[in-house]
């Protein structure tokens, strides 16, 4: 327990380090490229355009309406799924570092979360472009993005920590999780409108924590306020998740270095 508390105190003192970790990783990934981090944004843009054109025609819905649904959905989903997928290797990738310096593990967690926030900020430009093209005025509801994103990020901290620890111990989970996230993107109402699901299957959405995380970001982006239900889910996840992670970290702290 003492080691965990001292880790947390040391992590707050190492803020400069984990912010640098996040920034430099974004920078590094796109060094010597023309568009830099906007490449990822461009991928999402192309995806939205092509999917928008085809699906709007196949499903016989309005293109503009569909794109206004798809863009906030994909921006939000890309953040939520990257958190989980990249968490699987957050510690494994840092093997050399962890074995050469006595480092509080949360530093690596915050570095990753910070990097994903920076990428997310780049993707926001898509929303701006869309609103300019269709001359849509900004809405006050979009300010909900600030608390919504904050809550999702706080949840991401414990998710990355927990997933990171478990994947360090059980390497098979790394593969399992990336497959599971592929399925999750279709089970969660990312692409399809949530009101179209049959009432008998409503629970698939209602009890899906990823759905509530998604709503906390997607709704403000689309100019709507998230439901109170979404906030309650987000806050409960935070309380339960932090507790489980604190217990897991306390129990495994001494063993972590041996699992590399």
Candidates 5, 8, 9, 24; binder of other proteins (CB under 8 A) is: 24
- The reply to whether 2 sits near other proteins by the rule CB under 8 A is no
Placement of tokens 């509530």 in the chain: 212
Cβ nearer to other proteins, comparing 170 with 186:
170
Q: Which residue number, 150 or 169, has a Cβ lying nearer to other proteins?
A: 169
Contact criterion met (CB below 8 Å) for 185 and 84: no
Buried b / exposed e along 159-190 (16+ C-beta atoms within 10 A): bbbbbbbbbbeeeeebeebeeebeebeeebbb
Give the shortest CB-120-to-other proteins separation in angstroms.
Answer: 23
Residues in 98-157 at the binding interface with other proteins, rule: CB under 8 A: 98-103
Cβ distance to other proteins smaller for residue 3 or 42: 3
Using left for φ > 0, alpha for ψ between -120 and 50, and beta otherwise, residue 225 falls in beta
Q: Give phi and psi for 115, each to the nearest 5.
A: -60, -40
Is the CB of 98 or the CB of 149 nearer to other proteins? 98
Q: Which is nearer to other proteins, 28 or 196 (CB)?
A: 28
Residue 183 found at the interface with other proteins (CB under 8 A): no
Q: How far is the CB of 4 from other proteins (least distance, A)?
A: 12
**Rounded to the nearest whole angstrom, what is the least distance from the CB of residue 31 to other proteins in the complex?**
7
Q: According to the binding rule CB under 8 A, does residue 16 interact with other proteins? A: yes
* Of 94 and 221, CB closest to other proteins: 94
Question: Which residues within the stretch 29-68 sit at the binding site for other proteins (CB under 8 A)?
Answer: 31
Measure CA 192 to chain center.
19
Site string for other proteins, 197-236 (x = CB under 8 A): ----------------------------------------
Tokens found for residue 135: 């001359």
196 belongs to the binding site for other proteins (CB under 8 A): no
* Nearer residue to other proteins within complex by CB, 23 or 191: 23
Indicate which single residue of 33, 57, 97, 243 sits in contact with other proteins (rule: CB under 8 A).
97
Which residues make up the interface to other proteins (CB under 8 A)?
A: 3, 14, 16-17, 20, 24, 28, 31, 96-103, 253-255, 257-258
């Amino acid at each position: 327990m003492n080691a965990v508390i001292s880790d947390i105190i040391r992590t707050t003192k190492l803020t400069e380090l984990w912010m640098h970790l996040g920034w430099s990783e974004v920078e590094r990934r796109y060094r010597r490229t023309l568009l830099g981090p906007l490449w990822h944004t461009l991928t999402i843009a192309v995806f939205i355009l092509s999917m928008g054109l085809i699906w709007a025609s196949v499903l016989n819905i309005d293109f503009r309406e569909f794109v206004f649904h798809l863009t906030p959905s994909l921006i939000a989903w890309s953040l939520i799924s990257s958190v989980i997928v990249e968490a699987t290797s957050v510690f494994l990738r840092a093997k050399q570092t962890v074995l050469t310096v006595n480092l509080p593990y949360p530093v690596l967690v915050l570095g990753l979360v910070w990097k994903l926030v920076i990428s997310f900020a780049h993707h926001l430009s898509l929303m701006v472009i869309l609103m300019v093209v269709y001359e849509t005025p900004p809405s006050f509801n979009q300010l909900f993005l600030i608390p919504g994103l904050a809550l999702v990020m706080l949840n991401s901290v414990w998710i990355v920590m927990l997933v990171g620890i478990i994947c360090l111990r059980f390497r098979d989970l790394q593969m399992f999780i990336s497959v599971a996230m592929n399925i999750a993107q279709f089970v969660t109402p990312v692409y399809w409108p949530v009101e179209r699901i049959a009432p008998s299957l409503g629970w698939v959405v209602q009890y899906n924590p990823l759905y509530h995380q998604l709503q906390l970001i997607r709704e403000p982006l689309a100019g709507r306020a998230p439901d109170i239900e979404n906030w309650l889910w987000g806050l409960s996840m935070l309380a339960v998740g932090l507790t489980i992670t604190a217990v897991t970290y306390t129990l495994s702290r001494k063993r972590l270095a041996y699992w590399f």
